[in-house]
């Protein structure tokens, strides 16, 4: 009930041609549609029409959307956001291609968020009758599905309040300056499914995208992905490694416009009744588990 | 909301001493408590007090429990079961050690099911402050957590109706004799989380346990588990292999009393808005993906 | 010095068209040449012109060849075989396409063996200057290289003598009926490299092929291979599993004519000064490490 | 014939107590013997008495030894070294504990090398009769065996000549400043087995150790090793990653005295008749395959 998952991201690209090649051939996404200045992509194991819209011009996150479980839930969440003090506007069907009516708000973090219930059904690449475990041929990394995004905000605590009190998320992990009352929140990992996070916020400039991540199967898929990144000369920011924080296995890398991507697997399973795990800044080294140094560059943003 | 997960199983063991050694040293569970004729176990990455109670005498499933999200939900589900025609009884706190008040019913499949909200909090082996990704030492296979169970029933369609209409589950996969109206339901895989299933029912004698499964990290953990099974002379029923149906990676094996266990990983991610996948009997070979033959012995029950 | 490795196999196929598709698209070999009734294949990570010649008609092994380190070694080994009592004949350059002059003998096991030093150089798919770790695109399983073969013989002890005393191999593993003087040799695994075996002999009818194997990288490649086998409806004989004997990770399966193939990885590293490991028949269960039962069908031959 | 493998390393340690704990509990080696100021270790899958002698005082490589195939070979290699212009001295049995008579030389690179044939037989942890695939319990990383070492030298080309012309090695890979006649040799990877290298030399100060490496099974063992390194607070220099050069999967890290270690797997298989692969300096980025940047610190030495 409520927010089902991170549904789509609209990401700005300085050059649409190189982005098309990168997301199509390196990540292995399927181009679902194109309009002047826009490309719509889905991954092979997703049901919905698209999870990524590339928009020509600049870099960074134009907006993102959460799929919610019903139109009544849409209304309930809209009311909740207004009570929290957000301004919301209604968006009509097909304002975004293939997406039904919804609610849009500018978050305190400066990001534009949309909630929607309907999106055209496209179906996975393996279908619903006696499917193989994956398509026989996959292009490039062949990522199966979108997983999560990490955004920057000047006030992580405020964003955590909004997501937990209004949008029904819970915090699986929190990074604080120190334990106890004097500790400030540096970052928060928020889930509505049973994964370590569907969205996360980290202290930083308003409105920026740290990265968005694709789920892959396991550590061998992380290596396979890394091999493709190397063959395709994609700049790698970090990894392969394990995140101590979330246990996720990971590589970070950059799309042609400098938007940071991640392939991610094997993070901790969460549930609504689990306690939140706390990380303290002085242990942040172990947060990048094996390599152990969190490179400065890692916390820069687009 | 509603059922959070499969919380515990009470399993009968002909010999408690050998079962204690098997679940403690081969599977690597932690013994949490013991009473005359009963042993309570948890796995290292679980928060709740126990997920397994071994009861001396015989073999098979004595009962199982689902944790639900609140006492109000407990009441709502109780009402639903009564409306469905089930008789329910209330159980009081500590009727099962460490478990709060709840509701018990005999299912049409002949199994005893309990719903409860409270269970003592025990905490994982790695804690909630700057935890390592796993304990440095794990005994045997070192399974992190209980995952699901497969039960037999004379009427899978009835059980599917009960679980989807009353208990809030959805079917991720269905095995049918043939596509279309003439097809009969042979088995159904039901989820309330985002996994391929939390419980499943397959046509067979009433009240029996086919297997219960532990979640492990990935295909390398499946192999590691298999090595331990071999070293400990545990009889293996099937695997290592992939289930075409669910994509789960698997080994089936038997505890000292002949109860079937599974280690399981990397199944498909589900969500409430995903369509159900259908498998037909003539493709059941691919349901055991690589080995391809479903051995006769595989569908026998305790 | 002496025998470098198992260089090529000539294998009979009832239907060359289906064999061409299987070895080309399922195993992912490269077709190097074709003649009436013959197809020549190499794998992507091999340097020599071919390792497999498919010959139309029947099934089983027509002959096999070992590459030796020089023409002087060829002569030395020829002399040794004659002293051992074998008849040898000289073969001339290009009697087999792309292969230089050599020596041919019918072994006591009934198999035809060829020794040669020269074979046309073809080069790997990644070249010798700044190569990627693998080709970006691989077809099907994409096996990197031939590894070993297992042949049947009525007298394993005699074959072991020939290979160790004359051809410079050593036994890494031996399977015996029992320990001590009364034990008979059932099978012997022989190496000239640092692998668990380059060739092996098991008691059985004269002149038969049990299987030939391709080396793959690791346990994740074994799974990947198994997925392709399932998608391509290739009958699987055994696995995925670990061989307790050699520690090799494995799947056995059949080509369209019923010749048994294997994908194989991660076996024990050997050296000329290592002791031989002995397995006894009553522990043969653990020889198939996880699955534990050696199926009857496994020791049947083409 | 000739050099069988890298047999042992004598490594200096500033503090023997911390080194003992590190090599025993983090790497999981077995302490075989101790003398004042010396500790002798073997790994679980090795046959010989030891491969590592820790010597109290300082850091770096005291000496290393190659095991050769016989006493006649020892003499032949001694003669070869003298002809090459090296001074050699004979060492007597038990000059190094458990090691037989041999030949010692100071190499042009400033390193002390010993050749020997006999070393006490200790046996692996799993024995030679029906062994399990590994010990049921392994401490820490549980490395199975020593693999190779990388040494620095002011004249890599001279060392390559010595090893290929006298000691019977071949170069599997060479790193050059540029292709063609003007290219200078920066580093050379030399093998006498069928691995990518048993020893390698890179341009740098005379007499230094870049690292020595332990063979582990595969990419999942690399991750497992990395988890232990993190839990034990071992400083990691590089990885997990793939070496484009050799394809080896890797993590580099430091022992308590700052000697660099590596865990290594899945490198290319070599043979005496394979061509040498050449890497050029401008592609050195891909030599660290995924992470792509060769950190400055990586090429510093003890």
A146 and A52 in contact (C-beta within 8 Å)?
Answer: yes
Per-residue pLDDT at C296: 47
Q: Is residue C125 part of a domain?
A: no
Give CA–CA dist C23/C21, Å, rounded. 6
Which of these three, D66, D97, D116, is where a domain ends?
Answer: D116
What pLDDT digit, counting tens, does each position of B85-133 carry? 999 999 999 999 999 999 999 999 999 999 999 999 999 999 999 999 9
C197 annotated active-site: yes
Does the distance separating the beta carbons of D130 and C278 come in below 8 Å? yes
In angstroms, what separates the C-alpha of B222 from chain D's closest C-alpha? Answer: 12
Per-residue pLDDT at C238: 85
Tell me the count of B-C CB pairs closer than 8 A.
Answer: 61
Contacts of B226 in chain C (CB under 8 A): 241-242, 289-290
Does the distance separating the beta carbons of C132 and D244 come in below 8 Å? yes
C224 annotated active-site: no
Over residues C239-243, the mean pLDDT reads: 92
Does the distance separating the beta carbons of D230 and B132 come in below 8 Å? yes
Chosen from A223, A225, A289 to mutate, greatest number of chain D CBs within 10 A: A223
Does the distance separating the beta carbons of A242 and B278 come in below 8 Å? no
Give CA–CA dist B190/B230, Å, rounded. 31
Q: Is residue A122 part of a domain?
A: no
Does the distance separating the beta carbons of C215 and D219 come in below 8 Å? no
Give CA–CA dist C246/D184, Å, rounded. 43
The pLDDT-based confidence of B147 (bands split at 50, 70, 90) is: very high
Give CA–CA dist D28/D23, Å, rounded. 6
Give CA–CA dist A82/D209, Å, rounded. 65
Measured torsion, CA atoms of residues C83, C88, C89, C92, in degrees rounded to the nearest 10: -90
Above pLDDT 70, what percent of chain D? 95
Q: Which of residues 202-221 of C touch B (CB under 8 A)?
A: 219-220
Over residues C245-262, the mean pLDDT reads: 95
Q: Is residue C183 part of a domain?
A: yes
Does the distance separating the beta carbons of D228 and B136 come in below 8 Å? yes
Question: Looking at the structure, do residues D105 and D155 belong to the same domain, yes or no?
Answer: no
How buried is residue D86: exposed, middle or buried, by Cβ count under 10 Å (0-12/13-18/19+)? middle
| DSSP annotation of A193 | S
In angstroms, what separates the C-alpha of D288 from chain B's closest C-alpha? Answer: 24
Contacts of A136 in chain C (CB under 8 A): 228, 231
Q: Domain of A219: which CATH number?
A: 3.10.180.10
Closest CA to A61 of A97, A9, A18: A9
D289 annotated active-site: no
Please report, in angstroms and rounded to a whole number, the separation of the first and last CA atoms in chain D: 33
Q: Does A136 touch chain C (CB under 8 A)?
A: yes
Give CA–CA dist C200/C221, Å, rounded. 23
Q: Report CA A108 to chain centroid distance, whole Å.
A: 18
Give CA–CA dist B255/B13, Å, rounded. 9
Closest CA to C149 of C79, C221, C211: C211
In angstroms, what separates the C-alpha of D274 from chain C's closest C-alpha? Answer: 7
Cite the beta strand spans of chain B per DSSP E: 3-13, 30-35, 38-42, 52-56, 60-68, 88-91, 102-106, 112-116, 145-153, 170-176, 185-191, 199-203, 209-215, 236-242, 249-254, 260-265, 277-280
Question: Looking at the structure, do residues D104 and D230 belong to the same domain, yes or no?
Answer: no
Q: Does D228 touch chain B (CB under 8 A)?
A: yes
Closest CB from B227, B251, B290 relative to C229 = B290
Contacts of D219 in chain A (CB under 8 A): 219-220, 223
Tell me the count of C-D CB pairs closer than 8 A.
Answer: 101
How buried is residue B164: exposed, middle or buried, by Cβ count under 10 Å (0-12/13-18/19+)? middle
Q: Does D247 touch chain C (CB under 8 A)?
A: yes
Closest CB from C131, C179, C289 relative to D129 = C179
A211 annotated active-site: yes
Q: Is residue B249 part of a domain?
A: yes
Question: Looking at the structure, do residues D177 and D273 belong to the same domain, yes or no?
Answer: yes
Closest CB from B136, B220, B231 relative to D136 = B231
Other C-beta atoms closer than 10 Å to the C-beta of C273 total: 18
Does the distance separating the beta carbons of C69 and D273 come in below 8 Å? yes
Q: Which residue of A has its CA nearest to C220?
A: A220
Question: Looking at the structure, do residues C112 and C194 belong to the same domain, yes or no?
Answer: no
What residue ranges of chain A have pLDDT lower than 70?
287-288, 291-302
Choice among C51, C197, C210, C224 that is catalytic: C197
Does the distance separating the beta carbons of B217 and A266 come in below 8 Å? yes
Question: Looking at the structure, do residues D151 and D270 belong to the same domain, yes or no?
Answer: yes
Per-residue pLDDT at C282: 87
Q: Is residue C129 part of a domain?
A: no
Choice among A10, A49, A51, A148 that is catalytic: A148
A135 and A34 in contact (C-beta within 8 Å)?
Answer: no
Orientation of helix A219-231 relative to helix D219-231, angle to 10°: 110
Question: Which residue range is the domain that position A275 belongs to?
Answer: 145-299
C111 annotated active-site: no
Q: Does D242 touch chain A (CB under 8 A)?
A: yes
User: pTM of the full predicted structure?
Assistant: 0.96
Contacts of A240 in chain D (CB under 8 A): 240-241, 290
Residue B295 has pLDDT above 50, yes or no: no
Q: Does C193 touch chain D (CB under 8 A)?
A: yes
Q: Does B180 touch chain D (CB under 8 A)?
A: no
Question: Looking at the structure, do residues B180 and B244 belong to the same domain, yes or no?
Answer: yes
Question: Looking at the structure, do residues B66 and B164 belong to the same domain, yes or no?
Answer: no
Closest CB from C236, C249, C292 relative to B291 = C236
Residue C294 has pLDDT above 70, yes or no: no
A56 annotated active-site: no
Residue D297 has pLDDT above 70, yes or no: no
Question: Looking at the structure, do residues C96 and C13 belong to the same domain, yes or no?
Answer: yes
**Neighbors of chain B by Cβ distance (3+ pairs < 8 Å):** A, C, D
Contacts of D266 in chain C (CB under 8 A): 217-218
B172 and B196 in contact (C-beta within 8 Å)?
Answer: yes
Does the distance separating the beta carbons of D247 and C273 come in below 8 Å? no
Q: Does C230 touch chain A (CB under 8 A)?
A: yes
What pLDDT digit, counting tens, does each position of D68-111 carry? 999 999 999 999 999 999 999 999 999 999 999 999 999 999 99
Which of these three, D95, D116, D137, is where a domain ends?
Answer: D116
Does the distance separating the beta carbons of C218 and D128 come in below 8 Å? no
Question: Looking at the structure, do residues A155 and A216 belong to the same domain, yes or no?
Answer: yes
Does the distance separating the beta carbons of C136 and A228 come in below 8 Å? yes
Bridge pairing between strands A3-13 and A52-56:
parallel
Please report, in angstroms and rounded to a whole number, the separation of the first and last CA atoms in chain C: 33
The pLDDT-based confidence of C284 (bands split at 50, 70, 90) is: confident
Which of these three, D75, D95, D116, is where a domain ends?
Answer: D116
Does the distance separating the beta carbons of D249 and A242 come in below 8 Å? no
Question: Looking at the structure, do residues A69 and A210 belong to the same domain, yes or no?
Answer: no
Per-residue pLDDT at B237: 85
Question: Looking at the structure, do residues A165 and A105 belong to the same domain, yes or no?
Answer: no
Preceding peptide of C240 cis, ω within 30°: yes
Residue D295 has pLDDT above 80, yes or no: no
In angstroms, what separates the C-alpha of A132 from chain C's closest C-alpha? Answer: 7
Give CA–CA dist C197/B262, Å, rounded. 33
D204 and D191 in contact (C-beta within 8 Å)?
Answer: no
Closest CA to D14 of D56, D51, D77: D56
The pLDDT-based confidence of B271 (bands split at 50, 70, 90) is: very high
Closest CB from D230, D242, D289 relative to A290 = D230
The residues near D150 (Cβ < 8 Å, ≥ 6 apart) are: D199, D200, D201, D202, D209, D210, D211, D212, D213
Contacts of D130 in chain B (CB under 8 A): none
The pLDDT-based confidence of C292 (bands split at 50, 70, 90) is: low
Contacts of D235 in chain A (CB under 8 A): 292
Above pLDDT 90, what percent of chain D? 90
Closest CB from A132, A133, A231 relative to C136 = A231
Give CA–CA dist D111/B18, Å, rounded. 57
What pLDDT digit, counting tens, does each position of A1-39 carry? 899 999 999 999 999 999 999 999 999 999 999 999 999
Does the distance separating the beta carbons of C290 and B226 come in below 8 Å? yes
Other C-beta atoms closer than 10 Å to the C-beta of C57 total: 12
Q: Does B271 touch chain A (CB under 8 A)?
A: yes
The residues near A292 (Cβ < 8 Å, ≥ 6 apart) are: A285, A286, D230, D235, D236
**What tokens appear for C173 in the block?**
């593993």
Residue at token pair 């990490």: A150
Residue D296 has pLDDT above 50, yes or no: no
Q: Is residue A206 part of a domain?
A: yes
Question: Looking at the structure, do residues C160 and C220 belong to the same domain, yes or no?
Answer: yes
Q: Is residue C132 part of a domain?
A: no
Contacts of D193 in chain C (CB under 8 A): 194, 271
Orientation of helix B219-231 relative to helix A219-231, angle to 10°: 140
Q: Is residue C83 part of a domain?
A: yes
B300 and B258 in contact (C-beta within 8 Å)?
Answer: no
What pLDDT digit, counting tens, does each position of B178-223 carry? 999 999 999 999 999 999 999 999 999 999 999 999 999 999 999 9
Gyration radius of chain A's alpha carbons: 18
Domains held by chain A: number: 2
């Amino acid at each position: 009930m409520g927010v089902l998952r991170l549904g789509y991201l609209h990401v700005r690209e300085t050059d649409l041609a190189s982005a098309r090649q990168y997301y199509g051939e390196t990540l292995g996404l399927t181009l679902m549609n194109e309009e002047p200045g826009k490309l719509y992509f889905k991954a092979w194991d997703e049901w919905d029409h698209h999870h990524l819209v590339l928009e020509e011009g600049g870099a960074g996150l134009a907006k993102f959307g959460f799929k919610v479980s019903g139109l009544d839930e849409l209304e309930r969440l809209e009311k909740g956001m207004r009570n929290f003090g957000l301004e919301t506007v209604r968006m009509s069907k097909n304002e975004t291609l293939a997406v039904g009516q919804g609610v849009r708000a500018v978050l305190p973090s400066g990001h534009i968020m949309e909630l929607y219930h309907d999106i055209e059904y496209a179906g996975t690449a393996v279908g619903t009758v006696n499917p193989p475990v994956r398509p026989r041929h996959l292009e490039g990394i062949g990522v199966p599905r979108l997983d999560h995004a990490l955004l920057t905000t000047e006030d992580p605590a405020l964003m955590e309040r909004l997501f937990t009190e209004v949008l029904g998320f819970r915090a699986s992990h929190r990074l604080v300056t120190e334990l106890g009352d004097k500790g400030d929140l540096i970052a928060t990992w928020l889930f509505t499914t049973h994964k370590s996070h569907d969205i996360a916020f980290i202290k930083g400039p308003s409105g920026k995208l740290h990265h968005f991540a694709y789920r892959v199967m396991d550590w061998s898929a992380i290596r396979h992905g890394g091999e493709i990144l190397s063959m395709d000369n994609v700049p790698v920011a970090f990894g392969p490694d394990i995140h101590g924080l979330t246990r996720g296995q990971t590589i970070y890398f950059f799309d042609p416009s400098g938007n940071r991507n991640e392939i991610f697997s094997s993070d901790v399973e969460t549930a609504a009744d689990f306690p939140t795990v706390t990380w303290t800044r002085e242990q942040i080294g172990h947060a990048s588990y094996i390599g152990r140094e969190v490179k400065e560059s890692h916390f820069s943003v687009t």
